[in-house]
Amino acid sequence: MNEVTVKTSKRVELVDITSKVKNVVRESGTDDGICYLYVPHTTAAVTINESADPDVALDIADQLSEVAPPSKSYRHREGNADSHIKSSVVGNTAEVFIENAGLKLGTWQGIFFCEFDGPRTRKVWVTVGEL
């Protein structure tokens, strides 16, 4: 298992980590297989979405803040209940096929670390397996 470190600079942001994950795949030496990603945080997530237009990530973050607004009165006393909700909606795992030693992503796709309680230094666990 490998660990990818992600530094975030905002409370809510989506950070493209595709290049970091590609490095893990390249270093693994795997030609064909699968790449598993896991975020071990309760206020963060991982998703695959369009990376060609940075406005898509901003729109996703904005809409998630409408689904779970930070200003709502929640029972959770730490003040980050909205972050837990957003993390649960998006999810903490993703998988990508590996073909010819590269990530098998669609033309416009990228892998995003989703920060919902930043800024922080976070981690994503990445493992590569043969098929």
Q: What is the pLDDT of residue 71?
A: 86
What are the Cα distances from residue 40, in Å, to 4, 90, 125? 11, 14, 8
39 lies in which domain range?
2-130
- Inter-residue long-range contacts of 78-86, CB under 8 Å, 24+ positions, other chains counted: 80/43, 80/116, 80/117, 82/116, 83/12, 83/43, 83/44, 83/116, 83/117, 84/42, 84/43, 84/116, 86/12, 86/43, 86/45, 86/114, 86/116
Cβ contact 13:122 at 8 Å: no
Prediction pTM value: 0.96
pLDDT of residue 93: 98
From residue 81, alpha-carbon distances to 5, 46, 66, 84, 112 in Å are: 24, 18, 14, 5, 21
CATH number at residue 91: 2.60.120.460
Q: Which residues contact 128 (CB under 8 A, 6 or more apart)?
A: 2, 24, 25, 28, 30, 33, 34, 35, 36, 98
- In a structure prediction context, what are the per-residue pLDDT tens digits for the chain, which is 131 residues long? 999 999 999 999 999 999 999 999 999 999 999 999 999 999 999 999 999 999 999 999 999 999 999 988 999 989 999 999 999 999 999 999 999 999 999 999 999 999 999 999 999 999 999 88
Q: Is the dihedral of CA 14, 1, 20, 104 positive or negative?
A: negative
Structural domains counted in the chain: 1
